[in-house]
Amino acid sequence: MPVSDISYRKRFLTKDNVYLPHLVIIEKIIDETPDTRTFHFNFKDKGLREEFPFKSGQFGEYSIFGIGEAPFCISSSPTRYDRLEFTVRRVGSLTNALHRLSVGAEIGFRGPYGNGFPLDLLEDKNLVFVAGGIGLAPLRSLIWNVIDNRDKYKNIDIIYGARSPADLCFKYDLKNWDKDKSINMVTTVDKGDKTWKGRVGFVPQVLEEVAPSADSAVAIACGPSIMIRFTFPVLAKLGFTPEQMITTLEKRMKCGIGKCGRCNIGNLYVCRDGPVFTYAQIKDFISDEY
Amino acid sequence: MNQKISKKDISKLLDELGKEFKVFSPSRESGVTTFAEWDGRDSSFLEWYRNTVISPKAQLQPLYEKMFSFHKDKEGYHLELPPPTDKKLIFGIRPCDAKALTIIDKTFQDTYQDPYYLDKRKNTLLVGLGCTNPYDSCFCTSLGLSPTQSSDVDLMLTDIGDEFLIEAVTDRGMKLIKKTSYLKEVTKTDEAKAEEARRQASSKVTRRLDTKDLAKRLLSSFDDQDFWEKVSNKCISCGICTLLCPTCYCFDISDELVKKEGSRFRSGDSCAFPVYTKMPMENPRLEKWRRVRQKVCHKYEFYPMSFEVIACSGCGRCIRLCPVNWDITQILASLPVKVKA
């Protein structure tokens, strides 16, 4: 399963060793929700940013030396050269340690890995983004990418939900996209609070209400697996074919390059052959272990 | 032209090779048979050696391996790679274990080169020793191998009584025997003896695994949860079959830190462990039958799909050393769905 731009990425290795991380500096930390933070970072060797090739939907392996390493998607857009970003929910030992970092901290980064979103498939199409919780992180990279090349794409719908208003990530982006007249932005929460005046309802249910047309459209969904499992049938009901539905999968990964073994679904490695798949591909997976 | 060496001269040969290489030969370490650095004294392995518990794969992908070290000062972190690997020679590797390396090469070469494994592989010479006394659990002949096959080594030794016949398989092997003392020319009788030894060895491997359409049969049995639950019942998820398997290569990556000096290392990992796939909120292979299915299907279905070779060389360790007598050849013979050829 060849990775198309591998030769270019190989030139980006440190000392020809794919496991040796680049040193990067945390430049800014944003509290997204009570348990989720976005980190802006840049290479310690600043010149590397210009050379650093990545696509929306690709991921990196981030490490705190002495604690460990874990994969997170790059949540900023490749069209924005001033910085790179990743977004982390506090759930395990490394993510907790990341949340304890301050601006100026030096961490390890290697990547980019994985296939990324198929931009050529999205061109001249109506785009429907469906995201839940921190699942907006990889889509956000793609959304900014698309906005920065707005004339290449047609209508844009964004349906985004979280458990509660406090759990909505990237509120500053949501505001921007809401103001953008070329985007239909729909935000929802599972359960509102006193100040919440917006929609209330689960993402798949709201998607059905918004009912974007499947005509010349592609839907890109990311969120908790339970949300994804309920989203595909709704999309199908709206007339989307399996080829018109795209998602990005999450697995425990260590190496990021198809060697350490654990992220396989049947014969495919999510790190090497994914993490972005169409529902047509997912339907053909040998295994339901995703 | 093949050569031969007297068994009495093996110690001297290993001493000589030890001047150029770090030589590893079969050894007993705390009661466990493994490949250990040649100590210049004990060549008794020639009598007891059938195959080691720990395969010589451990010389190329150790169960614990430092990837780089790091330390921090005023300027920040500094990363340092371990020193380049020594030139090694593995003396006495069995054909199944040598084939296993050829099989896992594909993973370590795929997409990105794995520098740790491939550097050691490049700097390691393999001197094979044909089997004359295979175990009941061996089934290499079902995987298209023979117990005396020379295809995956640099030099191949075949037991012809008081001597070993030596065949140079690769250029590296050829170069090595050209500068080695203690070798003698072979006679036609020696060649005939070697041929007879090879024939006999093959006939001693009696266990069979039917590999015909195996990947297809596994695919059609993949969703049969009842079957996988039944065959995984007695498995205790100890991981021995994977940790001792010469074609299992899965690993974990972790950090160690003592004061400001630390290292990142990788260690053997196993699909038998629930934690192997555990994510904070979910675990796709929490149930034991899924992990057993993964182990079996990875070797005989997924690996052939990716690399056109079964990830098994029939060494039989997973049968011989399983604490509950779990038997892969039995499991595969009992697959519920048969696909017509």
Quote the pLDDT of residue A11.
62
> What is the secondary structure of B220-279 as a DSSP string?
HHTT-HHHHHHHHTT-----HHHHH-TT---EEEEEEEETTEEEEEEEE--TTSGGGG--
Instruction: Tell me how far CA of residue A134 lies from CA of A56, A163, A167, in angstroms.
Output: 15, 11, 9
Least CA distance to B272: which residue of chain A?
Answer: A262
| Same domain, residue pair B49 and B198 | yes
Residue A289 within any structural domain of the chain: no
The total number of structural domains in chain B stands at 2
| Same domain, residue pair B140 and B281 | no
Quote the pLDDT of residue A4.
42
Buried b (16+ CB within 10 A) or exposed e, B219-234: bebbeeeebbeebbee
Return the sign of the alpha-carbon dihedral for residues B81, B82, B84, B90.
Answer: negative
In angstroms, rounded to a whole number, what is the distance separating the alpha carbons of residues B254 and B63?
A: 13
Quote the pLDDT of residue A9.
59
Q: Which of A23, A258, A290 sits opposite B284 (nearest CB)?
A: A290
Q: Among B243, B202, B228, B339, which residue's Cα sits nearest to residue B291?
A: B228
How many residues comprise chain A? 290
For B111, the domain range is 3-58+74-204
Quote the pLDDT of residue A10.
62
The total number of structural domains in chain A stands at 2
- B143 to chain A, closest Cα gap in Å: 21
Q: Which of A14, A106, A260 sits opposite B250 (nearest CB)?
A: A260
The ipTM is: 0.91
Least CA distance to A257: which residue of chain B?
Answer: B112
Cβ separation B280–A92 shorter than 8 A? yes
| Same domain, residue pair A154 and A97 | no
Quote the pLDDT of residue B29.
87
In angstroms, rounded to a whole number, what is the distance separating the alpha carbons of residues B179 and B167?
A: 15
Q: Among A118, A73, A71, A112, which residue's Cα sits nearest to residue A220?
A: A118
Residue A286 within any structural domain of the chain: no
Residue A150 within any structural domain of the chain: yes
| Same domain, residue pair B10 and B139 | yes
Residue A75 within any structural domain of the chain: yes
Q: Is A37 helix (H, G, I), strand (E, B) or coil?
A: strand
| Same domain, residue pair B29 and B177 | yes
Work out the mean pLDDT of chain A and round it to a whole number.
93
Best residue in B71, B79, B259 for a mutation probing chain A (most A CBs within 10 Å): B79
Residue B45 within any structural domain of the chain: yes
Quote the pLDDT of residue A3.
40
- B134 to chain A, closest Cα gap in Å: 31
Residue B162 within any structural domain of the chain: yes
| Same domain, residue pair A166 and A241 | yes
For A175, the domain range is 119-248
Q: Quote the Cα angle for A26-A31-A35, to 5°.
A: 110
Phi/psi for A155 (5° steps) reads -60, 150
Residue A56 within any structural domain of the chain: yes
Per run of 10 residues, the mean pLDDT along chain A (length 290 residues) is 49 80 96 97 88 92 96 95 93 95 97 94 97 96 97 97 97 96 96 93 97 97 93 97 96 95 95 95 89
| Same domain, residue pair A109 and A129 | no
- Tell me the chain B residues in contact with residue A63 when contact means C-beta distances shorter than 8 Å: 255, 264
Q: Does B250 touch chain A (CB under 8 A)?
A: yes
Quote the pLDDT of residue B180.
87
| Same domain, residue pair A54 and A128 | no
Instruction: Tell me how far CA of residue B136 lies from CA of A167, B170, B208, in angstroms.
Output: 61, 31, 10
Q: Does B289 touch chain A (CB under 8 A)?
A: no
Buried b (16+ CB within 10 A) or exposed e, A111-150: bbbbbbbebeebeebbbbbbbbbbbbbbbbbbbbbbbeee
What tokens does B193 get? 């003896």
| Same domain, residue pair B181 and B150 | yes
Residue B292 within any structural domain of the chain: yes
Residue numbers of chain B with a pLDDT score lower than 70: 337-341
Cβ separation B255–A65 shorter than 8 A? yes
**Which of residues B204, B235, B269 is at a domain's end?**
B204
Q: Which of B115, B262, B294 sits opposite A16 (nearest CB)?
A: B115
- Tell me the chain A residues in contact with residue B278 when contact means C-beta distances shorter than 8 Å: 252
In angstroms, rounded to a whole number, what is the distance separating the alpha carbons of residues A80 and A78?
A: 5
